[in-house]
Amino acid sequence: MLLIHCPYCGQRPELEFRHGGQAHVARPADPSATSIDEWADYLYLRENPKGLHAERWRHVHGCGRFFNALRDTTTDVFVSTYRCGEPRPDGGSAR
Amino acid sequence: MNHPLLFRTPTGGRVDRSRTLRFTFDGQAYQGYAGDTLASALLAHGVHLMGRSFKYHRPRGLLAAGAEEPNALVAVIRDAARRTPNLRATQVELYDGLIAESQNRWPSLAFDVGAINDFLSPLFPAGFYYKTFMWPRQAWHRVFEPVVRQAAGLGEPPTLPDPDRYAQRYAHCDVLVVGAGPAGLAAALAASAGGGRVVLCDEQPELGGALLDEPASSLGASINGQPASRWLADAVATLSARPNVTLLPRTTCFGYFAHNMLSLNQRLTEHLAAPAPQAPRERLWQVRAREVVLATGAIERPLVFPGNDRPGMLLASAARSLLNRHGVKVGSRVVLVTGCDAAYITALELQAAGVTVVRILDTRPAAAEHVTRAALAAGLMVSANVTVLGTSGRRRVTGLTLARLAATGEVSDRESLACDTVLMSGGYTPTVHLFSQSRGQLRFDAAQQVFVPGVSAEREHSAGACRGTDGLRSTLDEGAAVGAAAAFAAGSRGVLASYTVQALEGSLRGQPGVLPQPGSHPPARAFVDFQNDVTSKDLALAMREGFESVEHIKRYTTNGMATDQGKTSNMNALGFVAKSKAITVPQAGLTTFRMPYTPVTFGSLAGYDRGDLFDPVRPTPSHDWAVAHGVVFEDVGLWKRARYFPRDGEDMHAAVDRECLAVRASVGLFDASTLGKIAVVGPDAATFLNRLYVNNFSTLAVGKCRYGILTREDGFVYDDGVIARLADEHFHVTTTTGGAARVLQMMEDYLQTEWSDLQVWLTSTTEQWAVIAVQGPKAREVLAPLVSGLNLSASELPHMALAHGHLGDIPMLLMRVSFTGELGYEINVPSGHGQRAWEMVWAAGQAYGMTPYGTEAMHVLRAEKGYVIVGQETDGTATPDDAGLSWAIAKSKADFVGKRSLARPTMLATGRKQLVGLRTVDPRLVLEEGAQVAATPNQKVPMRLIGHVTSSYHSAVLGHSIALAMVADGRARIGQTLYVPMPEGEIPVTVTTTVFYDTAGARLHD
């Protein structure tokens, strides 16, 4: 079971969390203005990196807050967790 | 035929000779001492035959003395419910009255009919089950499968449910030390000296590991000037006295998970003759450790040569352990075959104990000088550079043939030795299972020819033999250094120590593989994997048939796939494969180690989560009342929902017909408390709902309700429910029963991550409200005398209006909503008042023939009206328009979740499945839900199918069956005849609109 550092509550076991998919996928401000391809990208296309991955978690059985995490998908090591709205700490791609 | 205690030494060992314990094995009575294992006690009687092998049913005796034992698998039986199969006799602690049985034999261990397989073994090469049983096809079910099932498997499970209790516990510590041998003890001493929290676990009943195998005599090692046993006692006493140390004997660390979470299985009562009835039998520990020290030791490998599996052929380490711990001699005339120096010590100790050591046969040109010298000085005879050509004896080894083998393959100096015991030592394999489970990278040590821990993936340190460290002093020093380092890394203080050791020791090194044999083909009867009966010939066959990867060879031959997970066989198989292909061992690769290290009971893993505690139950406020009224419940998620209320022996159909008719004719009572409820509160509440739901909520007046549809961003229907505006900034959102949690999650997601500027607060109120649905033409008359503070008339409280008032003295939110098509109310009261409110309404309804109804009748009533159920009519690929709900979409809104997707071409294309009604020609015929729909009759398979039935019932009020279906271009097909193909024949159906009853909706607005 992973140990995850909630930016609001501190370190807690994985049981208290729910994974929320890739982070930094912003909903287009005006969806009706997006092309069909742009909309399909937003809806369906996600990264599947080997290595550092920015992903969303929710401390669902704790404070209930969503936050972002930088996790190495090969080792499960959390490099960092940070609040929604903050930039990806390693400066990696944020679509 | 038994010779009581003939093989017990007169003194010595760690058993308590003052406590004699009686036990039976296959019905035969024996006795042993406290401190014996089942294996040691049987061996003290000269009983070596303890099992039959898995495939060939060959007689097998003890091979090892610990967790790695592959042969001596037994069942221990306390009663019919407490029959534990597949236990290793080496790990079964003796207690008075123990009953054990051998396995995989019939009618008896000595005479086993299945042994015919051994003579038919040419028919069962590696992978035989992939090549046989192919035809005739019909024979599989009737002949092959029953026979294979009967033959497969090892022990028999108990026939009754497990009556015992199992405990579970979480623990945190600075340093978890796995293994309490010399390295683990030194690590625990060093790590705990500065006050850090240390947990030390070991699978054995007594802490000490390899130190327990040291003889008490002058032959044994001494540590810091004391006999090893004295040092061990002091070390354990020191650790016990430290309040920051938890000692866990009889506790196997079987799994190493991410972020230093390790699972431990503690056996609490297995060793007791009469466990207290309420005492937990096992305890599962889940330990989160800042740092982990692995001190799991090493396992000796057998040698692979023809006839290496007869009873009486053991690992040298097993013989040493049996002698020094249990005072048991493995035999009278022992031949030692070894490729490892450490085994020489065993030969010396056996000889000192009065066992005749016929000869030491060394497979190498020479052993280390100091052990050779010690052997010769003790009068032992050593033959070097030999191989073993075969052995004799069926239920016990009687002799061995050795020879010298030249590099040319020429055999010379063939010689036979008579013996009753053969000891084998092929060197030691570091126990890297847990390290490998932690995803650490192993490194091949070419000098030792074994894999050792390389790069760690977790905060973990290995020490001692499991790291390939040789020698007691190095092991102790390394344990201390690693323990201190772990404590430091965990943020506490460690205390280093260094040790002095005096001992005659031999190196643990050896050469994995198969002993060389004359001839080009490997011998058929040289066993690599004892538990799965895999021979060197099987491995060679797999390679000949093209299996390259060692992972594939493993699966094809099943080498290493038995319950012992190849503890004694993996490295020999790997050495053989590497040598056959003339590659190095790391080039051959290594199979992956997986948890559990040794088998763990389901009881331990299940722990408290059994019976009533398996899953929480969510009862509704009318639960007890419903039970008293003969309800049949339906499980909906964790909820217990009333399904129907049968009367006087009614079946479900009769009850549902009666309940439906009562609602249509008079009035029904339904518990709708399970509906999800979310309070959406704040200045931006209407804006928030507008952005989420397809409907417009800005225009919803306070005091009114609206049916809302929620789509996901992909445009497909996700949930639905009535949304009431209680105040300008307060909405009461209801969801489907099953959708409550995921709708709240979705709302939180958008609120927190996309629209964090909105001033909205979300609260789940599902459990706060009891919801009592009163439905039917008499609903108003039933409620009128009960309510105060509000007017129930159609003009004052029309359909989809709400009002606050009281039901008797209970504060109430009354919503005029209907999921039946009848005049209907949903009474919302605080759930603590739910049962009383229910009973008040029930009492008032008696004058009108009020009928309680369940979810079955609710389903029929709504289907008669064409109301959809999300998840029944829709399946995650239906848009609101597909489900016939496009009327709910607010055209004026620029955006809502899912709107952009609804404009995708594929969402607007023709040919999408649309919700329609279906009528069968035969009114009594009820279609099967899930049945497929075809446009034309008599199609050949594969048919072209255009839809499927989503809901189908008998409608009592209409007198015929009704169905809802999703059909391609369904709305354009209304009036057409379609066909539902079934095994019994095709059913013609007519396409209709979705509303079957009261199409004008007059009853709703009554």
Closest-CA distance of chain B to residue A42, Å = 10
Does the structure show a pLDDT above 60 at B16? yes
Contacting residues for B649 by C-beta, under 8 A, at least 6 apart: none
Encoded tokens for B651: 């079946």
Closest CA to B440 of B428, B430, B426, B425: B430
Distance separating alpha carbons of residues B84 and B76, to the nearest angstrom: 5
What is the distance between the alpha carbons of residues B211 and B231, in angstroms, rounded to a whole number? 9
In which band, very low, low, confident or very high, does the pLDDT at B362 lie, cut at 50, 70 and 90? Answer: very high
Q: Find, in chain A, the residue whose alpha carbon is nearest to that of B750.
A: A27
B138 contacts: CB under 8 Å, gap ≥ 6: none
Q: What is the pLDDT of residue B406?
A: 82
Residues 6 or more apart whose CB falls under 8 angstroms from that of B223 comprise B231, B472, B476, B499, B500, B501
Instruction: Please judge whether B895 and A65 are an interchain contact, meaning their C-beta atoms are less than 8 angstroms apart.
Output: no
pTM of this structure: 0.90
Query: How far is Cα of residue B785 from the mean position of the Cα atoms in its chain?
Result: 57
Alpha-carbon distance B976 to B991, whole Å? 6
Q: Look at residues B915, B913, B923, B920 and name the one whose alpha carbon lies nearest to residue B867.
A: B915
Give the residue, B294 or B218, on which the prediction is more confident.
Answer: B294
Q: Are the beta carbons of A58 and B258 separated by less than 8 Å?
A: no
With residues binned 3-state (H G I as helix, E B as strand, rest as coil), the percentages for chain A, rounded to 5, are 15, 35, 50
Distance separating alpha carbons of residues A47 and A53, to the nearest angstrom: 8
- Round to whole Å and give the CA distance between B591 and B570: 8
- Rounded to whole angstroms, the Cα distance separating A90 from B3 reads 74
Q: What ipTM score was computed for the predicted complex, to two decimals?
A: 0.97
For residues B115 and B406, give the distance between their C-alpha atoms in angstroms, rounded to a whole number: 36
Which among B544, B876, B829 has a CA at the least distance from the CA of B716?
B876
A66 with B257: Cβ contact below 8 A? no
pLDDT digits 0-9 by tens, B506-526: 999 999 999 998 887 777 789
pLDDT of residue B120: 78
| Residue B565 CB contacts under 8 Å (≥ 6 apart), including other chains | B433, B593, B594, B597
CB B202 within 8 A of CB B184: yes
Q: Are A57 and A66 in contact (CB under 8 A)?
A: yes
Amino acid, single-letter form, for residue B366: A
* Burial of residue B578, with CB atoms counted within 10 A of its CB: 0-12 exposed, 13-18 middle, 19 or more buried: buried
Tokens for B793, please give them. Answer: 């008339």
Answer yes or no: do B457 and A39 touch at CB < 8 A: no
Tell me the pLDDT band of B554, cut-offs 50, 70 and 90. very high
Residue for token pair 């040919």: B911
Run of H or E residues at B735: strand B730-735
The pLDDT tens digits of the residues spanning B295-354 come to 999 999 999 999 999 999 999 999 999 999 999 999 999 999 999 999 999 999 999 999
Q: Write out the two tokens for B85.
A: 């199969």
Lowest model confidence (mean pLDDT) among A23-27, B5-9, B929-933: B5-9
Give the whole-angstrom CA distance, residue A90 versus residue A82: 11
HEC assignment per residue over B205-246: CCCCHHHHHCCCCCCCCEECCEEHHHHHHHHHHHHHHCCCEE
Cβ within 8 Å, pair A32-B895: yes
d(CA B820, CA A31): 38
Residue B927 confidence (pLDDT) above 70: yes
Residue pair B216/B325 in contact (Cβ under 8 Å)? The answer is no
Give the integer Cα–Cα distance in Å for B429 and B791: 85
Tell me the nearest-neighbour CA distance from A1 into chain B, angstroms. 6
Tell me, rounded to whole angstroms, the distance of Cα B807 from its chain centroid.
51
First-to-last CA distance in chain A?
29
Which residue among A18, A32, A42 places its CB closest to the CB of B894?
A32
Asked if residue B396 has pLDDT above 60, the reply is: yes
User: Can you tell me the distance from the alpha carbon of B795 to that of B803, in angstroms, rounded to the nearest whole number?
Assistant: 13
pLDDT score at B145:
72
Is residue B133 predicted with pLDDT exceeding 70? no
Indicate the DSSP class of residue A26: P
Phi/psi for B123 (5° steps) reads: -80, -15
Instruction: Give the pLDDT confidence score for residue B152 in this predicted structure.
Output: 64
Each residue's pLDDT tens digit, B583-622: 999 998 887 889 999 999 999 999 999 998 999 999 999 9
Q: What are phi and psi of B756, to 5 degrees?
A: -65, -10
Q: Mark yes or no for CB contact A1/B261 under 8 Å.
A: yes
Inter-chain residue contact B900 with A65, CB threshold 8 Å: no
User: In whole angstroms, how far apart are CA B515 and each of B339, B411, B511?
Assistant: 10, 13, 9
Angle formed by the axes of helices B570-580 and B536-544, nearest 10°: 50
Q: Is A15 in CB contact (< 8 Å) with chain B?
A: no
Note which residues in 733-752 of chain B have CB less than 8 A from chain A: 745, 748-749, 752
Three-class SS state of B198:
strand
For all residues of chain B together, what is the average pLDDT? 95
Summarised one tens digit per residue, pLDDT across range B49-106 is: 999 988 888 999 999 999 999 999 999 999 999 999 999 999 999 999 999 999 988 8
> Which of B257, B753, B900 is closest, CB to CB, to A31?
B900
Nearest to B527 by CA among B182, B161, B948, B56: B56
Domains belonging to chain B, first-starting first, are 1-163 (3.10.20.440), 166-298+430-502 (3.50.50.60), 302-426 (3.50.50.60), 512-611 (no CATH), 618-673+766-873 (3.30.1360.120), 675-765 (3.30.70.1400), 911-1006 (2.40.30.110)
Q: Rounded to whole angstroms, how far apart are CA atoms B104 and B121?
A: 17
In chain B, residues with a C-beta closer than 8 Å to the C-beta of A60 are 745
Q: Are B708 and B724 contacting, i.e. CB atoms less than 8 angstroms apart?
A: no
Nearest to B424 by CA among B455, B387, B473: B387
Assess whether pLDDT exceeds 50 at residue B26. Answer: yes
Tell me the three state secondary structure of residue B966. Answer: strand
Question: Which one has a higher pLDDT value, B967 or B412?
Answer: B967
Q: A–B: how many Cβ contacts below 8 A?
A: 56
pLDDT at residue B664 in the model: 98
Buried b (16+ CB within 10 A) or exposed e, B198-236: bbbbbbbebbbbbbbbbbeeeebbbbeeebbbebbeebb
Does the bond joining B243 to the residue before it have cis omega, within 30 degrees of 0? no
Give the list of residues 6+ apart from residue B264 with CB closer than 8 angstroms, or none. Answer: B201, B248, B251, B252, B253, B254, B284, B285, B286, B287
Mean pLDDT computed over B894-911 = 96
- Domains assigned to chain A: 3-83 (3.30.2270.10)
**B905 at interface of A, judged by CB pairs closer than 8 A:** yes
Q: Are the C-beta atoms of residues B749 and A66 closer than 8 Å to each other?
A: yes
Q: How many residues in total does chain B contain?
A: 1006
Output the CA–CA distances (angstroms, integers) from residue B56 to B290, B400, B534, B795, in the order listed: 47, 22, 10, 87
Tell me if B324 sits within 8 A of B215, measured CB to CB.
yes
Residues 682-721, chain B, touching A (beta carbon < 8 A): 713-714
Using DSSP's 3-state secondary structure scheme, residue B134 falls into coil
Indicate whether A95 pLDDT > 60. Answer: no
Cα gap B347→B247, rounded to integer Å? 34
User: Residue B293 in contact with residue B277, Cβ under 8 Å?
Assistant: no
- Percent of chain B having pLDDT more than 70? 98
Contact B767, B725 (CB under 8 A): no
B906 contact A CB<8A? no
| Count of beta carbons in the 10 Å neighbourhood of residue B149 | 9
Mean pLDDT of B849-861: 98
Output the pLDDT for position B3: 46
3-state SS assignment for residue B321: helix
The answer to whether the CB of B446 falls within 8 A of the CB of B422 is no
What gap in Å lies between CA B11 and CA B940, rounded to an integer?
85
Those of residues 43-72 in A touching chain B at CB distance below 8 A are: 43, 56, 58, 60, 64-66
The residue among B217, B240, B209, B591 whose CA lies nearest residue B432 is B591
pLDDT tens, B195-223?
999 999 999 999 999 999 999 888 899 99
DSSP string of B18-78, one letter each residue = EEEEEEEETTEEEEEEET-BHHHHHHHTT--EEEE-TTT--EEE---SSTT--S-EEEEEE
Residues of B in contact with A31 (CB under 8 A): 895, 899-900
Residue B692: CB atoms within 10 Å: 24
Structure tokens at B168: 């579970």
Q: List pLDDT tens digits, range B696-750.
A: 999 999 999 999 999 999 999 999 999 999 999 999 999 999 999 999 999 999 9
CB < 8 Å to B904, chain A: 36, 39
Backbone angles phi and psi of B987, in degrees to 5: -110, 115
Give the pLDDT band of residue B258 (cuts 50, 70, 90): very high
The answer, yes or no, to whether residue B977 has pLDDT greater than 90, is: yes
For A11, the closest chain B residue by CA position comes to: B259
Identify the residue among A43, A63, A77, A82 best suited for mutation to test binding to B, counting B beta carbons within 10 A and taking the highest.
Answer: A43
